[in-house]
């Protein structure tokens, strides 16, 4: 049990309550006869010290009524003997079970108070007993709270010392605490804004919330294998949550084999590889926007790295410590869009989880929400998203309360939103709300000076994936890369290099290892001189790009126009043409624009 002095503010409040209700002065002492709390008049009349034997007498007998203060046996030795300012006192020991904690006294310093207490003695005794019990209960609660604090501190210390990732969840699955290893394991999100349903497979979480013990159950976390154990926590036979332990089976050597350029640097501007004017301009914009929360719209062809750019913006901003929550608008069924973005309350619809579920906006609180392929968002959802962006508040499906949000939105698309707006396929007001800060990622064909830098990085990454040590890219291969039109952009370059590394048997990437579909697509004029035919190393190469035959471009344009004639020159026809030719819609628009300007 804690000491009474630890409850001093509460005890002072109780004395004021008693004074106001019963018109009587009050004092509370601990077992060492120290005054803990009292009314102002009591302090003025009797001071801070008390005759210790009188307190001991109350502790020994439980209840004591002093009808003649200063003239009682217990008053012997008191400085007020024979001349006590009190007219009457009722004292009672404060106990927890049978353990004494202190003493409370009702005191009157007036003749009128003496007569009132004498006349209604039992009522005042009952009140004294009531307040004594109240103080005992208060101290018991304080003591219990302190024990809980100690228990929590012990649990946190044990979790921090663990060599495994550990976290605790409440009965609804919300994460309540976690150790540093768990924070590192789930570094892609903010654990304290998450439910277990968002970081672990749903069947596993259902078992845990049904109070089941788990032992080394295999799960996949962030594409890595792990084994989870769970211990349910009970409070008086009532399920009160669980403590989870997650053990990694992947060796350190395997982890360290991953390329740092696509692991550690993937969260910084260094992940945006290149030195072309377009890339340098974008990097400069990201630096200037570090403290902004304005909405950003990233445009660019498929495979240009819009998702990577969004991550770099987030991790370079003042929100870098908050969560980065990506949403692919093309992958969410139209009927689930609203609940996925805004969440839902329990019972909102058939199959809704008990306790409801937070949406992506809530999960991104304090961080960034990345809406990829925003052009695929259904029209009816566009107006709801617009309202959230205007008010920075949302309402869950089936809910009645408004939840304010602090989220920065980054949207991305490979479509021409201007055209979609004109064709009534995208709301103009939402477009202007998203397009506050536009960022256009140039296609790889417009940033040829970046191809060698990207190819070098992808060679390192593919070497590590395939367990190979290919040191160079030959001059003919680099020339082929520089001459290619790259309809699939960076993703196509990455794919081709990964294929070639797997096929190559020497320490130099050669034309023979390139995929046939790549070699068949373009014709290259590779210099024959011995200087340019030499292999270029990863560290430095100066290969000059040859000219692609104009006949190939003419044939490609003829194929485009032929497809458009068959499918139509409207938006739908252009979509079908792009799909048939295996190019993005943005590439199609760009090629048509080049033809119109030529």
CATH number of the domain that residue 388 is part of: 3.40.50.300
Q: Is residue 130 domain-shared with residue 12, that is, in the same domain? A: yes
If one compares 3 and 418, the residue with the highest pLDDT of the two is 418
Confidence of residue 147 (pLDDT cuts 50, 70, 90): low
Q: Is residue 432 domain-shared with residue 457, that is, in the same domain? A: no
Token output for 201: 């497979």
Q: Is residue 347 domain-shared with residue 367, that is, in the same domain? A: yes
Q: Is residue 482 domain-shared with residue 411, that is, in the same domain? A: no
Domain end, chosen from 252, 285, 316, is at: 252
Q: Is residue 136 domain-shared with residue 10, that is, in the same domain? A: yes
pLDDT tens-digit map of 272-288: 888 899 999 999 999 89
If one compares 70 and 104, the residue with the highest pLDDT of the two is 104
Region 558-573 average pLDDT: 84
Domain that holds residue 455: 445-537
Residue 31: inside a domain: yes
Q: Is residue 389 domain-shared with residue 497, that is, in the same domain? A: no
Q: Is residue 438 domain-shared with residue 501, that is, in the same domain? A: no
The residues, ordered by sequence, that sit 6+ positions from 97 with a Cβ below 8 Å of its Cβ are none
Helix %, strand %, coil % of the chain (to 5):
50, 20, 35
If one compares 586 and 298, the residue with the highest pLDDT of the two is 298
Residue 350: inside a domain: yes
**Exposed/middle/buried for residue 507 (C-beta within 10 Å: 0-12, 13-18, 19+):** exposed
User: Can you give the pLDDT at residue 598?
Assistant: 67
Residue 198: inside a domain: yes
Domain end, chosen from 442, 463, 491, is at: 442
Q: Is residue 64 domain-shared with residue 116, that is, in the same domain? A: yes
User: Can you give the pLDDT at residue 331?
Assistant: 85
If one compares 580 and 370, the residue with the highest pLDDT of the two is 370
Q: Is residue 133 domain-shared with residue 8, that is, in the same domain? A: yes
User: Can you give the pLDDT at residue 458?
Assistant: 92
Question: Where residue 471 sits, what CATH number does that domain have?
Answer: 1.10.8.60
pTM of the model: 0.49
291, 158 contact by CB (below 8 A): no
Checking if the pLDDT of 443 tops 90, the result is: yes
Q: Is residue 283 domain-shared with residue 377, that is, in the same domain? A: yes
- Report CA-CA distances (Å) from 275 to 282, 283, 284, 369: 11, 10, 12, 28
Checking if the pLDDT of 45 tops 70, the result is: yes
User: Can you give the pLDDT at residue 524?
Assistant: 42
Residue 150: inside a domain: no
Region 54-68 average pLDDT: 82
Q: Is residue 289 domain-shared with residue 417, that is, in the same domain? A: yes
Domain end, chosen from 515, 537, 559, is at: 537
Residue 149: inside a domain: no
Checking if the pLDDT of 429 tops 90, the result is: yes
Q: Is residue 47 domain-shared with residue 119, that is, in the same domain? A: yes
CA neighbor of 535 nearest in space, from 578, 474, 588, 581: 474
pLDDT tens-digit map of 462-510: 998 888 889 889 888 888 888 888 989 999 999 999 999 999 888 889 8
Token output for 151: 């228990």
pLDDT tens-digit map of 381-425: 999 999 999 988 888 888 888 888 889 999 999 999 999 999 899
Pairing of strands 88-96, 63-66: antiparallel
Question: Where residue 168 sits, what CATH number does that domain have?
Answer: 3.30.450.20
Number of structural domains (the chain) is 5
């Amino acid at each position: 049990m804690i000491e009474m002095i630890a409850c001093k503010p509460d005890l002072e409040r109780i004395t004021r309550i008693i004074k106001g209700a019963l018109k009587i002065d009050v004092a509370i002492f601990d077992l060492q006869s120290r005054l803990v709390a009292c009314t102002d008049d009591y302090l003025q009349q009797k001071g801070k010290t008390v005759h210790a034997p009188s307190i001991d007498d109350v502790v020994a007998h439980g209840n004591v009524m002093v009808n003649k203060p200063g003239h009682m046996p217990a008053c012997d030795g008191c400085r007020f003997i024979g001349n006590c300012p009190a007219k009457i006192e009722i004292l009672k020991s404060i106990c927890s079970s049978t353990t004494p904690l202190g003493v409370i006294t009702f005191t009157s310093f007036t003749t009128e108070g003496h007569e009132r207490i004498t006349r209604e003695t039992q009522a005042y005794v009952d009140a004294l007993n009531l307040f004594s019990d109240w103080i005992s209960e208060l101290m018991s609660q304080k003591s219990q709270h302190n024990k809980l604090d100690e228990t929590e501190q012990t649990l946190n210390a044990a979790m921090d010392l663990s060599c495994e990732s550990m976290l605790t969840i409440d009965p609804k699955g919300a994460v309540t605490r976690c150790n540093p290893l768990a924070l590192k394991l789930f570094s892609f999100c903010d654990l304290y804004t998450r439910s277990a349903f968002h970081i672990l497979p749903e069947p596993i979480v259902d078992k845990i919330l049904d109070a089941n013990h788990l032992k080394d159950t295999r799960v996949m976390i962030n594409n890595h294998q792990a084994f989870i154990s769970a211990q349910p926590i009970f409070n008086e036979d009532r399920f009160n949550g669980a403590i989870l332990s997650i053990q990694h089976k992947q060796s350190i050597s395997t982890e360290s084999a991953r390329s740092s350029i696509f692991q550690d640097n993937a969260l910084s501007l260094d992940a945006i590889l290149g030195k072309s004017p377009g890339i340098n301009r974008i990097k400069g914009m990201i630096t200037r926007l570090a403290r902004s929360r304005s909405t950003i719209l990233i445009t660019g062809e498929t495979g240009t790295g819009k998702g990577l750019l969004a991550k770099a913006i987030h991790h370079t901003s003042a929100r870098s410590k908050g969560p980065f929550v990506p949403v692919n608008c093309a992958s969410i069924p139209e009927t689930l869009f609203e609940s996925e973005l805004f969440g839902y309350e329990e019972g909102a619809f058939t199959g809704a989880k008990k306790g409801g579920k937070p949406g992506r906006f809530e999960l991104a609180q304090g961080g960034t929400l990345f809406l990829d392929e925003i052009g695929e968002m259904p029209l009816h959802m566009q107006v709801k998203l617009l309202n959230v962006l205007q008010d920075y508040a949302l309402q869950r499906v089936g809910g009645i309360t408004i939840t304010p949000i602090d989220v920065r939105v980054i949207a991305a698309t490979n479509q021409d939103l201007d055209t979609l707006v004109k064709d009534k396929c995208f709301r103009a007001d939402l477009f202007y709300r998203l397009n506050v800060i536009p960022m256009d990622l140039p296609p790889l064909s417009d940033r040829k000076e970046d191809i060698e830098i990207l190819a070098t990085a992808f060679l390192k990454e593919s070497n590590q994936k395939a367990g190979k040590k290919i040191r160079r890219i030959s001059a003919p291969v680099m020339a082929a890369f520089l001459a290619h039109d790259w309809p699939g952009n960076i993703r196509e370059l990455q794919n081709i290099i990964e294929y070639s590394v797997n096929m190559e048997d020497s320490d130099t990437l050669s034309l023979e290892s390139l995929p046939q579909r790549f070699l068949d697509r373009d014709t290259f004029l590779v210099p024959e001189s011995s200087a340019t035919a030499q292999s270029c190393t990863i560290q430095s190469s100066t290969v000059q790009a040859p000219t692609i035959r104009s006949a190939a471009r003419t044939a490609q344009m003829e194929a485009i126009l032929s497809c458009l004639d068959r499918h139509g020159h409207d938006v739908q026809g252009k979509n079908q043409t792009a799909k048939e030719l295996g190019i993005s819609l943005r590439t199609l628009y760009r090629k048509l624009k080049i033809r119109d300007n030529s």
